[in-house]
Amino acid sequence: MAITPEEHRRRLGRLGEDAAAAELERRGYRLVTRNYHCRGGEADLVADDGETLVFVEVKARGSLAHGLPRDAVGWTKQQRLGRAAEHYCHRHEIDDRPLRFDVVEVVLLNGEVAAVEVIVDAFVPEG
């Protein structure tokens, strides 16, 4: 039985997220949570990097035909990550830590991780 395109996309996304988490941990980040959702916002990963709380958007692509994965993190996605950060900090009563927004791009070729790039301090959401 063939898998649906949606299921294939979910599998690639999970593979990309796992690769991103492994790379961040290799770099010394401590993962706090995965897939944090709130109304109007979401963060793929939340991690500690020393004193800084990092909200991470993971973008995985199986082809570079439409550009680098980071190219898909536009204004709307940045604002959604910003809302998630605001909600997370409010919910966990965090008001005294520096925050940062990183993007991890993962290139997958033939279902395998070909490259992982961490873009530190990739953007600052508006508001």
Tokens of 67: 């550009």
Mean pLDDT of the chain: 92
CA distance 30 to 127: 27
The confidence score (pLDDT) of residue 90 equals: 96
The confidence score (pLDDT) of residue 2 equals: 79
| Percent of residues, the chain, with pLDDT higher than 90 | 73
pLDDT tens, residue by residue, 86-110: 999 999 999 999 999 999 999 988 8
CA 32 to chain CA centroid, nearest Å: 13
> How much is the pTM?
0.92
